[in-house]
Structure 1
Amino acid sequence: MEEKKIVMTGGGSAGHVTPNLALIPKLKEQGYIIEYIGTEDGIEKGIILNETIEYHSIVSGKLRRYFDIKNFSDPFKVVKGVFQAKKILKKVNPKVVFSKGGFVSVPVVLGAYMNKIPVVAHESDMTPGLANKIVAPFCNKICVTFPESLKQLDKNKAVLTGTPIRKQLFEGSRIIGKRICKFSDDKPVIMIIGGSLGSKVINNAIYSKINELLDKYNIIHLCGKGNLNSELVGKSGYVQFEYVSEELPHLMQATDIFISRAGANAIFEILALKKLNILIPLSAKASRGDQILNAKSFEKNGYSLVIEEEELNGNLLLEKLTYLIENKSEYYNAMKKSTLKEGVDNIVNVILGEAKK
């Protein structure tokens, strides 16, 4: 009997990898074997190997919207990656390739197209990222999170599915989360999420008011790789992590208020958990502005309070936290009324539909 396989891809940041993990259990239930294509040194490798999924490495150049000397060499890496991906996919022979975006996905999607393998992509943000813009002509279907995204893509390919949220996030324990952090009192818990690479701007705003914050709150700080603050190690009520995996569901359940970047995966997880939150989107100077649009949408719907990165400082953060707590019932009510759907089943149905053709 022929093995049914699906190859997944996506990388460069955790946001291009972890949504894939939400889909894998459902696809396995349908009898599919999952394999993954990523880069040798990308964040995706560690995350996927931790799930004991077969991993194939290719080279890929980063896609940039700004000038960098590597812009001259990286296109050659992409071309090399296309032929590496084509060879791997011919050997693996999956029924479908699922792409979550990021620069590694470009050669994989092109390799699939050359092998006549159907491709389903997913776009988390309101506006398609550069990688998804490039691969869109070679995809059979593109799943989107926001209704606004449908207008920007081929109407024959775009499907409104929502974003995949890991089932494990709902299975965490507040008690275990507080125990991991050694929080023994009843102060509200704040979790700070600066993305998988961390945010110096957010970190510095927190450090500038750390004592005032710790008077009222316990703090879980996901500060990003290489950003641990040695001066705060062992400080009562404060715990910091570069990156969290298995403990995350417990830590999120223990959290009362999130201070977070506005990547789509993070904000939809916060919304699904119905937690108070302050969003600090990446500025337009440092990004294509997708997080600003995501944050504005959540602010307009009453799910989130937003601080622009350019305005962020410790005093403003304290002020906004006070406002959020004083008006928490309005935010909870808006989140309870949300019609934004958890997307695992919808996306799996699109993938299976292409696999069966």
Structure 2
Amino acid sequence: MKNRTILLTGGGTAGHVSLNQALIPELKNLGFNVEYIGSKDGIESGLIPDSFPDVPYHAIASGKLRRYFSVKNFTDPVRVGAGLVQALNVIRKTKPVAIFSKGGFVSVPVAMAGKLMSVPVIIHESDVTPGLANKIAMPFANHIFTVFKETLKHVPKEKSTCTGSVIRSELMDGSAAKGKEICNFNNDLPVLMVMGGSQGSAVINEAIRSNLTALLKQYNVIHLCGKGNADSSLMDLANYKQFEYVTHELPHLLHMTDFVVSRAGSNSIFEFLALKKPMLLIPLSKLKSRGDQILNARLFQQQGFAHVVEEEELTPERFLAEMQKLQMDEDLLVDAMTNAESPKTAYEMAKLVAAHTKN
């Protein structure tokens, strides 16, 4: 099997890359060669080569698929066409036995090329409803995996399977002691982790910083604020640690965390669920997205895993009130999460992918 290659694709946000990062070592353990197709300047162009320098990275052109009017809507089809030609060339060269797509704009020409070259295309959809890129790519797919059972209503049932969430093995191996070393916290206050997504969130950052004096009386605060969003004037606060972005440190930081404030991206909230972290979710609004995070958050709220507040309703006063409610309901939330279905391991997901490869 050593010459059998699987091409992975996906990018644009960390959520479209993290599962691929978890699968790469497991697919290698199963005996596959792994190569990656991503965009030239998306987040994946840094994450994949940095984490896996031995995995060949093929950069292709990628147009953004917009739901709104933009002059670029007239030029991006040219980029998608160029990406299709480039993806076809990669497939001819690597002769993969399957393509696994995590979504994002770059994945569309790759899925199309796979179909044209009779290579099995496997799509993974993390959200309740498919994103635009996956919607376009699904007709070219041989099989679709979903995280939520509710998603099966929105995809072709005859070629779809709900696998549940997939959790990276390294997440479970984090160390609270290492997290404390990283942050240099030296008191017994509970730890609040704040995450605004890989790009950061101005709304969440403002909610935290406008309440920082009050919060630091009750918590040690870990603030993942997004690239370029660190505030140099807050660097010397004893129990406030801000990061623009973390990778290898995240499992350690999560293991030391008592409460989480976060957006509602599927990958992140299932990681909080696996670690049984009471969470306050502030989903990306419909004004800024297609509403997928709102659906994710509401399902978690209905199952008793999380509290939710819409960002349009978020004020400094409301935020502090929601944090008090979260702390009061800690035991109820942890009990509900304890009874949740166990996630799949990356190894189990890799075996599912391998079952759909070309013989």
TM-score between both structures, scaled by the size of structure 1:
0.97
CA distance in 2, matches of 1:111, 1:163: 28
The residue number in structure 1 matching 2:29 is: 29
CA distance in 2, matches of 1:298, 1:135: 27
CA distance in 1, matches of 2:209, 2:136: 40
Tell me the secondary structure at the aligned position of residue 31 of structure 2.
Answer: coil
Please tell me whether the aligned partners of residues 278 and 326 of structure 2 are also in contact (alpha carbons under 8 angstroms). yes
The residue number in structure 1 matching 2:102 is: 100
Q: Are 1:117 and 2:129 matched, yes or no?
A: no
Please tell me whether the aligned partners of residues 167 and 343 of structure 2 are also in contact (alpha carbons under 8 angstroms). no
The residue number in structure 1 matching 2:81 is: 79
The residue number in structure 2 matching 1:183 is: 185
> Shift in Å at residue 350 of structure 1?
2.8
Aligned length: 357
Q: 1:258 aligns with which of 243, 260, 273?
A: 260
In structure 1, the gaps of 5 or more residues are none
Tell me the secondary structure at the aligned position of residue 62 of structure 2.
Answer: coil
CA distance in 1, matches of 2:226, 2:107: 23
CA distance in 2, matches of 1:110, 1:135: 7
CA distance in 2, matches of 1:23, 1:2: 17
> Shift in Å at residue 346 of structure 1?
4.7
User: Over residues 274-306 of structure 1, what are the superposed CA-to-partner deviations in whole Å (9 max), with x where a residue is unaligned?
Assistant: 111100000011110000000000000000000
The residue number in structure 2 matching 1:15 is: 15
Residue type matched to 1:321 in 2? M
Is the alpha carbon distance of 1:156 and 1:349 closer, same or farther for their aligned partners in structure 2, counting shifts above 3 Å? farther
CA distance in 2, matches of 1:146, 1:65: 24
Tell me the secondary structure at the aligned position of residue 269 of structure 2.
Answer: helix
Residue type matched to 1:186 in 2? D
Q: 1:304 aligns with which of 303, 306, 314?
A: 306
Please tell me whether the aligned partners of residues 143 and 347 of structure 1 are also in contact (alpha carbons under 8 angstroms). no
Is the alpha carbon distance of 1:311 and 1:340 closer, same or farther for their aligned partners in structure 2, counting shifts above 3 Å? farther
User: Over residues 80-136 of structure 1, what are the superposed CA-to-partner deviations in whole Å (9 max), with x where a residue is unaligned?
Assistant: 100000101110111100000000000111111111111101000000000000010
- 1:240-319 matches, cutoff 5 A: 240-319=242-321
- 1:161-200 matches, cutoff 5 A: 161-200=163-202
Is the alpha carbon distance of 1:2 and 1:333 closer, same or farther for their aligned partners in structure 2, counting shifts above 3 Å? closer
> Shift in Å at residue 313 of structure 1?
1.5
Please tell me whether the aligned partners of residues 2 and 31 of structure 2 are also in contact (alpha carbons under 8 angstroms). no
CA distance in 2, matches of 1:257, 1:180: 18
User: Over residues 235-293 of structure 1, what are the superposed CA-to-partner deviations in whole Å (9 max), with x where a residue is unaligned?
Assistant: 11111111101111111111111100001001000001111110000001111000000
CA distance in 2, matches of 1:186, 1:66: 49
Q: Are 1:341 and 2:330 matched, yes or no?
A: no
User: Over residues 32-68 of structure 1, what are the superposed CA-to-partner deviations in whole Å (9 max), with x where a residue is unaligned?
Assistant: 1111010111100111011222101001101111122
CA distance in 2, matches of 1:234, 1:89: 51
CA distance in 2, matches of 1:48, 1:145: 23
> Shift in Å at residue 226 of structure 1?
1.1
> Shift in Å at residue 25 of structure 1?
2.2
The residue number in structure 2 matching 1:61 is: 63
> Shift in Å at residue 351 of structure 1?
1.4
CA distance in 2, matches of 1:92, 1:112: 12
Please tell me whether the aligned partners of residues 115 and 140 of structure 2 are also in contact (alpha carbons under 8 angstroms). yes
CA distance in 2, matches of 1:11, 1:296: 25
The residue number in structure 1 matching 2:131 is: 129
Tell me the secondary structure at the aligned position of residue 57 of structure 2.
Answer: strand
Identity %: 50
CA distance in 1, matches of 2:69, 2:220: 42
Please tell me whether the aligned partners of residues 169 and 345 of structure 2 are also in contact (alpha carbons under 8 angstroms). no
Tell me the secondary structure at the aligned position of residue 355 of structure 1.
Answer: coil
Is the alpha carbon distance of 1:288 and 1:340 closer, same or farther for their aligned partners in structure 2, counting shifts above 3 Å? farther
> Shift in Å at residue 356 of structure 1?
4.5
Please tell me whether the aligned partners of residues 11 and 44 of structure 1 are also in contact (alpha carbons under 8 angstroms). yes
Residue type matched to 2:330 in 1? K
User: Over residues 204-244 of structure 1, what are the superposed CA-to-partner deviations in whole Å (9 max), with x where a residue is unaligned?
Assistant: 11111111001110111111111111221121111111110
Please tell me whether the aligned partners of residues 198 and 227 of structure 1 are also in contact (alpha carbons under 8 angstroms). yes
> Shift in Å at residue 340 of structure 1?
5.5
